[in-house]
Amino acid sequence: MDGSCTRRAWLAASGGTALLAGCSSLGPPPEPAVDASPWAAQSAGPGSSPPWRHQAFPGKAPTRFTYAREEGRHAVSATASSSASMLRRRLRVEPAELGSVVFSWKVPALIADADMASRENDDSPVRVMLVFDGDRSRFSPRDAMLSELMRALTGEEMPYATLMYSWCSRREAGTVVTNARTSRVRTLVVESGPQKLNRWLDYRRNVRADFERAFGEPPGALVGVGIMSDSDNTRSLVRAWYGPLRIVAAAGAQ
């Protein structure tokens, strides 16, 4: 393994999958994107956006994302077998335009040993991710170092903030979990426990309110969205379906 590969593997191990998830330029997609599918056509936002891309992570087997029809819905099927990768889409929504994020998912089973607050077991059957711009001069020394390392390895800065919506087997809905490796990634638990497994669940979340709850400050511009199912840390098999993901502009936004 050459020096570059060693550094990338170290970043994947020490920075965590969630840290990598906000960035691109980490390698070619492992399979064709689903951008031509009806799911992608229904996943819209303010203005025009580039295509959805399947983003691999260095040193990680990719999760398989495919278009599917599930109980009459357009969906993306995600199958994670000791793997981690994501579908992501760049966009830009200015703070004054931020309204709601609308999404849905269906999860057959949770990951028994997963713990999103743990370095060793930070896996989840479903994650919806929102990536925000902001003033990186406010980073802690540790986060500034991680951002510099990320830029050196990928050509991109670490996102100012990443907000995730997830399903947790341990913590109750409404809990905010700070990533074990960086305070710039925080997860809002929107479902907890097994009671609602094996059915479609629909959500409409106020982006500004959720960001302020998680980070204690107003959001900057929204610069990316993504979905991710990962089981690389627990070495498990998990499957889920995602409905279309839409960003709805705030009332009165131009």
* pLDDT attached to residue 18: 60
- Asked if residue 220 has pLDDT above 60, the reply is yes
Residue 226 scores a pLDDT above 80: yes
| pTM, two decimal places | 0.86
Please tell me which residue, 133 or 169, carries the higher pLDDT value: 133
* Average pLDDT, rounded, for the chain: 84
- Whether residue 217 is predicted with pLDDT greater than 70 in this model: the reply is yes
Q: Does residue 12 register a pLDDT over 60?
A: no
Answer yes or no: are the C-beta atoms of 96 and 250 closer than 8 Å.
Answer: yes
In the prediction, which pLDDT does 36 show?
A: 67
State the pLDDT at residue 21. Answer: 61
Q: Is the pLDDT of residue 13 over 50?
A: no
Count CA within 13 A, CB hemisphere, residue 157.
Answer: 16
pLDDT tier for residue 166 given thresholds of 50, 70 and 90: very high
Whether 203 shows a pLDDT value over 70: the answer reads: yes
Q: What is the mean pLDDT of residues 47-71?
A: 87
Tokens 């399979």 belong to 31
Q: What six digits make up the tokens of 206?
A: 């106020």
Q: What is the pLDDT, as a whole number, of residue 65?
A: 95
